[in-house]
Amino acid sequence: MSKKKTDAPATPAASGAPAASNGIASGAAAAMLRAPAELMFAHELEALIQNDKYDKPPGWKMSPRAVLTYICGGKAGSLDISPKYIGYQRLVEIAISTLVTDRALLLIGEPGTAKSWLSEHLAAAINGDSTKVVQGTAGTTEEQIRYTWNYAMLIAHGPSHDALIKSPIFRSMESGSLARFEEITRTASEVQDALISIMSEKRISVPELATEVPAAKGFSIIATANTRDRGVNDMSAALKRRFNIVVLPTPNTLETEIDIVRKRVKELAANLELKAQLPAEDAIEKVVTIFRELRTGQTLDGKNKLKTPSGVLSTAEAISVLANSMALAGNFGTGEVTAHDIAAGLQGSIVKDEEKDKTVWHEYLSNVLKKRGAEWRPLFTACAEHNE
């Protein structure tokens, strides 16, 4: 039987209870261009917490099994939990169990394989707060990983607790929750290494205040890194050893990728209030087919070798092509997505480098799409017109 939970819910209930643990009121979610996962799926998180029969690790809002249900889909009482990550459940299990240990989690993979998406949903389920994020860039400094100062206060009164500006990682250590580090390998290696002491000693020292802050139980880091950027600032072996690495693959079958794209386009369209009908099933299939063929450099039947364009043809790009085509259809068309709406999006996402990609796309159109017969004819004609 389910234990009655007495803790405060992680997130506001769908009924509109105020203030999630990240401080954003639930009513505000509708006004946001993109609400954090804990607000978008507040009702699911709430139901999972209420129906959780298993033990929660320290600092967690729900048990690892409930987190798995939240990510991969299932039931919480009578409520259907929608799958967030579509793919190998085992990978998600490994990711969740890593966070129960004292090792941090590094999600790597090609662009658009849902690394950030999974990281956000894991933090939302485990803590009800996915917003403690450090965004890795070439300009990320050690202060953004550790702490910095309010300089006006520092100059006026010297170092004090009040003048300390804590990084999201520092705040996660204090509260015993998850911090996210996006695109960690874009940050210079010396800066990344500021994490080594945090992750091995589980404390952060503030020498100016002659103090050390220990991490509370529940603290961990979920980092993401793109395999395409990896060479730029590869992680030091010392840092890599402190992470469990989970590689997120590109969807292995056409059907899986179509499922992901269909589901996300529907969610995006609802969120952005795009005034158009969802693209027809065969339009989704065609876009995903084109993406898969150009990505792998061969037709799905393996008979023709193809040149690949310079840009990344990820699942995420396919989602945005279809969302863009809906925006075109909704605003400048009849509301029904046409081959021309899709062709405009395809051209933009495939032809990134004007010279080279235009030729690759042209060759694909005339050597592959043109020969596919009547069913592909409208899309072929629209694409050929756009590529002139």
Ligand X SMILES: Nc1ncnc2c1ncn2[C@@H]1O[C@H](COP(=O)(O)OP(=O)(O)OP(=O)(O)O)[C@@H](O)[C@H]1O
Beta bridge partner(s), residue 213 = 204
Decide: 46 and 9 in contact? Cβ < 8 Å.
yes
Taking the complex as a whole, the smallest distance from the CB of residue 119 to Mg ion amounts, in Å, to 8
Site for ligand X in 318-337 (CB under 6 A): 319
Site for ligand X in 297-316 (CB under 6 A): 315-316
Residue 111 interacting entry, from ligand X, Mg ion, none, C-beta within 5 to 8 Å by type: ligand X
Specify the residue, 261 or 382, whose C-beta has the smaller distance to Mg ion: 261
Residue 113 interacting entry, from ligand X, Mg ion, none, C-beta within 5 to 8 Å by type: ligand X
- Name which position in 98, 116, 233, 250 contacts Mg ion (CB under 5 A): 116
For residue 30, count other CB atoms closer than 10 A to its CB.
9
85 binds ligand X (CB under 6 A): yes
Residue 316 interacting entry, from ligand X, Mg ion, none, C-beta within 5 to 8 Å by type: ligand X
* CA 306/CA 304 separation, integer angstroms: 6
From 109-117, 153-161, 285-293, 314-322, span contacting Mg ion (CB under 5 A): 109-117
Beta-carbon contacts of 211 under 8 Å, excluding residues fewer than 6 positions away, are: 205
Structure tokens of 346? Answer: 């395809």
Instruction: Determine the size of the site formed for ligand X (CB under 6 A).
Output: 19
194 binds ligand X (CB under 6 A): no
Using alpha carbons only, give the angle 319, 246, 127 rounded to the nearest 5 degrees.
80
Taking the complex as a whole, the smallest distance from the CB of residue 114 to Mg ion amounts, in Å, to 8
- 147: enclosing H helix or E strand: strand 147-149
Helix, strand and coil in the chain, % to nearest 5: 50, 15, 40
- Name which position in 86, 123, 163, 339 contacts ligand X (CB under 6 A): 86
- Name which position in 9, 36, 112, 128 contacts ligand X (CB under 6 A): 112
Decide: 10 and 46 in contact? Cβ < 8 Å.
yes
CA nearest to 87, candidates 73, 99, 101? 73
* CA 329/CA 334 separation, integer angstroms: 6
Look-up: residue for tokens 């925006």? 327
Per DSSP bridges, beta strands 243-248 and 133-135 are unpaired
Residue 132 interacting entry, from ligand X, Mg ion, none, C-beta within 5 to 8 Å by type: none
The SS3 call for residue 47 is: helix
- Name which position in 41, 60, 70, 117 contacts ligand X (CB under 6 A): 117
- Name which position in 67, 95, 114, 169 contacts ligand X (CB under 6 A): 114
Taking the complex as a whole, the smallest distance from the CB of residue 271 to ligand X amounts, in Å, to 11
Per DSSP bridges, beta strands 104-109 and 220-226 are parallel
70 binds ligand X (CB under 6 A): no
- Name which position in 146, 180, 264, 386 contacts ligand X (CB under 6 A): 264
Q: Which amino acid is it at 355? A: E
Taking the complex as a whole, the smallest distance from the CB of residue 217 to ligand X amounts, in Å, to 28
**What residues line the site for ligand X (CB under 6 A)?**
85-87, 109, 111-117, 224, 226, 251, 260, 264, 315-316, 319
Residues lying near Mg ion in the complex (CB under 5 A): 115-116
